Amino acid sequence: MEAILLAIYSFFVWLIFIKLKWLPWNTRSQVTVVIIPIVGMVALILLLNTFAPSSADVRVVNYVVQINPQVRGMVIEVPAEGNRPMKKGEVLFRIDPTPYRLQVEEIQAQLTLAQTRLRQSRELAGTGAGNRFDVERYETESAQYQAKLANARWELDQTTVYTPADGTPINVQLRRGSMAVPFPVAPAMTFVENEHQIIALFHQNELHQVAPGDEAELALKTLPGKVLKAKVNSIVWAQGQGQLTVSGVLPQTGAAPQVPGRFAVKLDLEEKDLATFLAAGAVGDAAIYTQHLEAIHIIRKVVLRVGSYLNYLIPKLH
């Protein structure tokens, strides 16, 4: 954009001083012609970075769920396929339910027997042939078996693992005959949800004019030539350099000063762009248009759109 403005300025300088000769082309005019664009470009850049800040570090972050079964057993079916989108509630994989079904049947039989004995002991206690202690004992046994039965049925239900949301299982290596175990550090598969967040990172002195609700635009490298409309959801006024770990020693600043961290701005797509597919991990550029000095916003919009079309270019030789 700066080059375009300089080209337009140069054209008018040529037209006024050389072609039409409306003004003399002497040392004074030459110095003036050189100084004006320098001062103007510096002022324009400073104003743009204040009232229409931009970021070259935009990231699309998706929620990732580590799928861990709640029960252990041999996998008998894996309907999920790697990198195939699925809807919420579809089956990811099934564990052999036989031992859990047998456990339910066993506890059900024990509960039936305990309830029969409870009924009989109540009848005997009512006629004076039994005692209250037996009734209380069978009541306790019956309650315990009911709790065990509920847990056994829950475990039986957990032998089928479903998708937690709309999304895609990635790198599915689980196969029929594998042993699935409820071990958090070794998930059965990884599931990437469709729900995402868009984060743009800005330097610390770029955000003093930015507020939630401000207009924003995105140009992602995965979508060359396309500019997405968004709004500022919030500014995350916290980052790692603002936290000290619990320690018995004084904070270390290191041999060299620590580079100041940036703050994240969360962006929400506007309704017309909500259906646009955003790849997890996509990066790109963003610009925020504050409520001040709106006349210069057009320059930032042009710069962003030129950059979006430049994403079509792939400058590599291998």
pLDDT at res. 214: 96
pLDDT at res. 122: 82
Q: What is the pLDDT of residues 151-199, one digit of tens each?
A: 999 999 999 999 999 999 998 999 999 999 998 888 999 999 999 999 9
- Mean pLDDT calculated for residue range 124-149: 82
Question: Quick check: 125 pLDDT over 80?
Answer: no
Considering the domain architecture, whether residues 125 and 169 belong to the same structural domain is answered as yes
Considering the domain architecture, whether residues 82 and 184 belong to the same structural domain is answered as yes
Q: Which domain CATH number covers 152? A: 2.40.50.100
Considering the domain architecture, whether residues 15 and 69 belong to the same structural domain is answered as no
- Mean pLDDT calculated for residue range 219-248: 90
The helix or strand, by DSSP H or E, that contains position 95, with its residue range, turns out to be strand 91-95
Residue 159 counted as domain residue? yes
Question: Quick check: 144 pLDDT over 80?
Answer: yes
As a whole number of angstroms, the distance between CA 40 and CA 73 comes to: 71
Considering the domain architecture, whether residues 112 and 153 belong to the same structural domain is answered as yes
Range(s) of the domain holding residue 94? 64-192
Considering the domain architecture, whether residues 33 and 7 belong to the same structural domain is answered as yes
- Mean pLDDT calculated for residue range 295-304: 91
pLDDT at res. 180: 93
- Mean pLDDT calculated for residue range 259-267: 88
Partners of residue 219 on adjacent β-strands:
285
Residue 301 counted as domain residue? no
Out of 132, 159, 192, pick the residue that ends a domain.
192
Out of 137, 171, 192, pick the residue that ends a domain.
192
**Mapping DSSP to helix (H, G, I), strand (E, B) and coil, where does residue 298 land?**
helix
Q: What is the pLDDT of residues 8-50, one digit of tens each?
A: 778 777 788 787 888 888 888 888 888 887 888 888 889 999 9
Considering the domain architecture, whether residues 15 and 83 belong to the same structural domain is answered as no
Considering the domain architecture, whether residues 137 and 168 belong to the same structural domain is answered as yes
Residue 250 counted as domain residue? no
One-letter amino acid for residue 117 of the chain:
R
pLDDT at res. 260: 74
Residue 174 counted as domain residue? yes
Q: How long, in residues, is the chain?
A: 318
Residue 302 counted as domain residue? no
Number of domains in the chain: 2
